[in-house]
A and B are shown apart, each in its own frame.
Chain A
Amino acid sequence: GAVVSQHPSWVICKSGTSVKIECRSLDFQATTMFWYRQFPKQSLMLMATSNEGSKATYEQGVEKDKFLINHASLTLSTLTVTSAHPEDSSFYICSATANRGAIYSNQPQHFGDGTRLSIL
Chain B
Amino acid sequence: SQQGEEDPQALSIQEGENATMNCSYKTSINNLQWYRQNSGRGLVHLILIRSNEREKHSGRLRVTLDTSKKSSSLLITASRAADTASYFCATDRNTGGFKTIFGAGTRLFVKA
**Which residue numbers of A lie inside 8 Å of B, CB to CB?**
4, 6, 34, 41-44, 46, 49, 57, 91, 93, 95, 101-106, 108-114, 116
Whose C-beta in chain B lies nearest to the C-beta of A102?
Answer: B97
A111 touches B44 (CB 8 A): yes
Contact at A108–B98, with CB atoms within 8 Å? no
Identify which of B40, B43, B97 contacts A111 (C-beta below 8 A). B43
Within 8 A of A (CB), among B36-56: 40-45, 48
Q: How far does the Cβ of B46 sit from chain A's closest Cβ, in whole Å?
A: 9
A116 contacts across to B, CB distance below 8 A: 40
Q: Interface SS of chain B: helix, strand, loop or mixed? A: strand
Binding site for A on B (CB under 8 A): 2, 29-31, 33, 40-45, 48, 88, 90-92, 94, 97-105, 107
Pick the contact of B91: A49, A57, A106 (CB < 8 A).
Answer: A106
Further 6 A-B residue pairs, CB within 8 A, beyond A93-B43, A108-B45: A43-B102, A43-B104, A102-B98, A103-B98, A109-B45, A116-B40
